[in-house]
Amino acid sequence: MKLLIKSATIVDKQSDYHLKQADILIQDGIIKKIGNAIEVEADKEINIKGLHVSQGWLDTSVSFGEPGYEERETIENGLRTAAFSGFTDVVLNAQSKPTIDNSSTIYSVKAKAQGNAVNLLPTGTLTVASKGVDLAELYDMGNAGAVSFGDYKKPVSNPNLLKIALQYAQNFGGLVQSFPLEKRIAGKGIVNEHHNSTLLGLKGIPNLAEDLQIARDLYLLEYTGGKLHIPTISTEKSVALIKEAKKKGLDITCSVAIHNLVLTDDLLSEFDTRAKVMPPLRTKKDTKALIKALKDGVIDFVTSDHDPIDIENKKVEFDNANYGSIGLESAFGALQTIFSTEETVAILTRDKERFKAEISTLAEQKLAKLSFFLPEEKYTFEKSDILSISQNSIFLGQQLKGKAIGIFNNNQLIISEEF
């Protein structure tokens, strides 16, 4: 395939063409030429006013339901949604039935994604069936293609189990994930413990439930060594703990969900179950600390934490609703409400090697792995913007800025039909 992209602004700090407008010629998946006024016969030409192009984006936490919960999302449609949302690589959570806890299930989900424009990077469970009792087949899953190991939204309650996992995974360079929640502190809480939870009569989860678990995990990491990733932190104290751990030289990374950056627990006033997420929406003080930490590099990744939930488990009483929100479609537009385009792209493309995603800068003779977006468009996020099978978006009705319109990856072009 020969593709010619006309007059695109390149956003890539690693490229000599950063913030410059240029034509890009791609042939057989390789960038053949970058320059002005390239004239050549091509199979496809893209010429879109205001088009921006960057390295392909990575999302470190997505759930697709399949196998077992196809009514929420299939791998095929999930990857399609990711492509139109600008992501070339997604890390798939082990949230399915059966759970992804052995090499066979790793091979299975990879096979379902084979030949797709988006690279699917599977996470295997840390424990058998995510029950938190026995370690899963980490080594075998790693050989099959798992890029990390963690029980999605389930904390490792047994500290000795996490200790053993960190020690064992060092034998093959495995990345262990530990969800930051001390269940005995959280109790029956379902939202952030603050004045809003009191006003609304909803049981609260204190920041301490997250902070205490992270402090424990970092202490274990310091003792064992190894590689640890803490997904979706949400509190000011968590930032301070991880910052101190990095100063000590511990091999620790963490992420934050986009909704925990942009939204607060003030959104709960309408008892809308789309705002029921885990970790819960916190306060403005926490979001400010998280934004600063992301800019400073204390937080390594931002994730959509895309989690489709079927209507039967979402449109019910608040206490009974499942946690989770879809987020791929709104990710770029939501981030741009708090960061510049240059900052947003840098955040979405950094530290890819942590999850074994291939890095490719915009330069001649390099692999063409691109995200396409229009950064200036302002709009209200509506149901018509949703591509997922499930409709449970926490960003419905929110004002966003900028739209992703597709990708080029694996020698395949996926771009919105309106262009």
For residue 172, the surrounding DSSP H or E stretch is: none
Residue 5: how many other CB atoms lie within 10 Å: 27
What is the C-alpha separation between 290 and 199, in angstroms, rounded? 25
What is the C-alpha separation between 205 and 367, in angstroms, rounded? 46
Tokens of 88: 């070339």
- Going 280 to 325 to 354 to 134, the CA torsion angle's sign is positive
The label of the residue with tokens 């395949």 reads 412
156 within 8 A of 177, measured Cβ to Cβ:
no
Q: Which of 166, 105, 101, 91 is nearest to 131 (CA)?
A: 101
Q: One of 23, 151, 265, 305 is an active-site residue; which one?
A: 305
List the alpha helices (DSSP H) in 63-186.
Answer: 75-84, 103-113, 138-144, 159-169, 183-186
Does the active-site annotation cover 305?
yes
User: What is the CA 104 to chain-centroid distance, rounded?
Assistant: 24
List the alpha helices (DSSP H) in 85-194.
Answer: 103-113, 138-144, 159-169, 183-186
Q: Which of 348, 369, 358 is nearest to 411 (CA)?
A: 369
Phi/psi for 172 (5° steps) reads -135, 20
What is the C-alpha separation between 123 and 142, in angstroms, rounded? 9
What residues act catalytically? 305
